[in-house]
Amino acid sequence: MPRAHQAMPALPEAPGPLRSSVQFHVGQRNVKALLVETGTTWIGTSGGLVRYQPIGDKYTHYDNKSGLLSNGVFYVNRIQDKIWVGTYGGGLSILDARSSSWWGYNIPNGMADAFVYDVLETRNGDIWIATWSGANRIVGGRLDDIRNWQTYTVENTAGGLPNDWVYGLAEGKNGEIWLATEGGLARFIDDRWTNWQHDDGLGAPYEKVAEDIQFQNDPAQFSSHHARQKVEQGLQDIKVAYNPNYVIALLVAPSGEVWAGTWGGGLSRFDGQRWQTYTVGDGLPGNHVFALGQDPVGGIWAGTSNGLAKFDGEGFHTYRRADGLYSDVVFSIAFGSDGSAWIGGTGGLTWFPRGLAAEDPKG
């Protein structure tokens, strides 16, 4: 991984809202996924997977020449004591870091699609996989028996899953499964589906966010799939990057609250009965929310098209490049058990070894 980062100092307290930080450069790539473990951080980029060990400043780069099925990495986590990597077009790659051996799962194994955006291991041992052709559920997590693979789509759930493009997965406190899709938010429990769209309160109306949309790259201008969805959702006359039904980031807090980051419609919070949406007008730095994370003390963080924000219960503390971030576009957020924070974005990432300080941030 190309990197231009400062040598690690003795980490004195630094002035300003952010504590001492180290920046990493990854070239013309985006950092879409992060996993922080003791002594190791796994960095998923659009150019492969990097294993970084701060002690000794060691890194190992994995790509499609070394066993990874595709260089585009959407997801990375440790499941069943292996490193699981969701890829762009290559399915699911699994690494045994001790032996450096790889193996993979794709459509012939039962996967709905080769584009894997998220994976969830539930408390009962099931594995869920979010793809762009529906969601897989592998009963008991036994991937090598195709009889355990189930696929949920709009068609076979009678619309319970509102869209086949699934971006995120999370388990609620009662074992319910939440799914973020391009057509809204879905919940699955006891073989029953429920879903919510913009008409139910998800995402802000266009009139509220129109003047604050900084991210103009509207997929509907380049993709027939996205253009058709805009027509289906009555948004064909809106030519900028806005679709409040696209849920591209998902977090379920231990309290049961559900947080949904939307494509231009801001950040929505659902308490099980009512929706509340936060936008730039409420202090959110950007209305496109690409990443959500929760720190070790329960703080909610949002990565947007225009900076990073921490929710303080009423409003937001905002951080941008001037405060130490590598990029104002934030695609990934991860926290270590030691309180450290890793923030990934366009072209690189930032490591805050002593964490992020929320006092007196710059807006």
Q: What is the four-CA torsion angle of 241, 246, 252, 255, rounded to 10 degrees?
A: 80
- The model's confidence at residue 24, banded by pLDDT at 50, 70 and 90, is very high
Q: What is the pLDDT of residues 278-288, one digit of tens each?
A: 999 999 999 99
Angle at 335 between CA 330 and CA 340, to 5 degrees: 105
Dist. CA 84–CA 81, nearest whole Å: 9
Portion of the chain with pLDDT greater than 70, in percent: 93
Give me the pLDDT at residue 11, please. 29
Of 10-14, 192-196, 236-240, the least confident: 10-14
- The model's confidence at residue 226, banded by pLDDT at 50, 70 and 90, is confident
Question: What are the residues facing 194 on neighbouring strands?
Answer: 187
Give me the pLDDT at residue 215, please. 72
Name the DSSP letter for residue 221: G
Cα 352 to its chain centre, rounded Å, is 19
For each of the domains in the chain, give its residue range(s) and CATH number, in order of start: 22-352 (2.130.10.10)
Q: If you average pLDDT over residues 283-309, what whole number do you get?
A: 96
Instruction: Choose between 235 and 263: higher pLDDT.
Output: 263
Dist. CA 240–CA 53, nearest whole Å: 41
Q: If you average pLDDT over residues 275-300, what whole number do you get?
A: 96
Is a pLDDT exceeding 80 seen at residue 244?
yes
Give me the pLDDT at residue 183, please. 96
Q: If you average pLDDT over residues 238-246, what whole number do you get?
A: 92
Q: If you average pLDDT over residues 165-179, what whole number do you get?
A: 97
- The model's confidence at residue 59, banded by pLDDT at 50, 70 and 90, is very high
Q: What is the pLDDT of residues 31-42, one digit of tens each?
A: 999 999 999 999
Dist. CA 308–CA 289, nearest whole Å: 9
Cα 171 to its chain centre, rounded Å, is 15
Give me the pLDDT at residue 230, please. 84
Give me the pLDDT at residue 357, please. 65
Q: What is the pLDDT of residues 322-336, one digit of tens each?
A: 888 999 999 999 999
Of 63-67, 238-242, 243-247, the least confident: 238-242
Report the mean per-residue pLDDT for the chain. 91
Give me the pLDDT at residue 7, please. 32
Is a pLDDT exceeding 50 seen at residue 107?
yes
Is a pLDDT exceeding 50 seen at residue 2?
no
